[in-house]
Amino acid sequence: MLGCKPIVNEFAFYPDNVNVIPENNLPNGIQEITINTDDNVELISLFLPSTESKKLLIYFHGNAGNIYHRIPSLLQIHNTGVSVIGVSYRGYGKSEGDPSEEGIYLDGEAIYQHAVERMGFSKENIILFGRSIGTAVAINIAQNKQLRGIILVTPLTSGSDLAKAIGLGAVASLAEGSFNNITKVENIKSPLLVIHGTSDRIIPYSMGREIFDRANVKKEFVKIDGANHNNLHDDYKQKYWPPILRFINNV
């Protein structure tokens, strides 16, 4: 099975390490932070500090592009008054290395530990936000921790389920056991918000619903009728952003 991992990673990750923004051209209030993982990979992520709240939201983006493409979303979240870290996985943006499932879990854990141990945020004040494949990182970290909250946007149940759903039957058998959100979500201990569009053609709506149903915590599900995978925050922003901002403020 180990030999299958490179094939699964090839289908799972589409990093962009070219279209980045020089640090001195970043919007005011955004800075780059450098963090080293346990396997000695240097990550360069984005930090939006705030003095208005003790809360920190850690944002894990999807499998394509890079964190610089998510700056509008980071700014929208930052407007609630919380501090924000936008995570740049290995191989994405200005971060070193090559992405893999195990690697992005190490990246997420390194960012989380840095936030607690070096930046002084308590785990009880940390909100994890996962989008698409980023939900796998958020859920992996959140297991058996009492965090402030977890936001999952378009979560997948597992890598093999997703491969089957999009017609990659051969890859499905190779992906068995990968990105296993459906089992891990039963181990989360924190308040949960799940958002999914009914017309999602990349990660089916039914997967978001199943993830939500498996979680045994205080939880809320937001169904956005007609929304696809990549148009939630723009074309459906009036339905997408209010529950997110409300959750951040109230959790």
Please list the active-site residues. 132, 200, 229
User: How many degrees, rounded to 5, is the angle at CA 186 between CA 184 and CA 200?
Assistant: 70
CA–CA distance, 225 with 207 (Å, rounded to integer): 15
CA–CA distance, 103 with 43 (Å, rounded to integer): 11
DSSP E strand boundaries for 9-148: 14-15, 31-36, 42-48, 56-60, 64-65, 83-86, 126-131
Contacts for 7 with CB less than 8 Å, ≥ 6 apart: 171, 174
In 3D, which of 249, 242, 247 has the Cα closest to residue 191? 247
Token reading at 2: 């180990």
CA–CA distance, 129 with 84 (Å, rounded to integer): 10
Amino acid residing at 194: V
C-alpha distances (whole Å) from 197 to each of 51, 74, 103, 185, 189 are 34, 21, 28, 20, 25
Task: For residue 123, count CB atoms less than 10 angstroms from its CB and return exposed for 0-12, middle for 13-18, buried for 19 or more.
Answer: middle
Are the C-beta atoms of residues 173 and 158 closer than 8 Å to each other? Answer: no
Residue with token string 């592009």: 65
Are the C-beta atoms of residues 43 and 95 closer than 8 Å to each other? Answer: yes
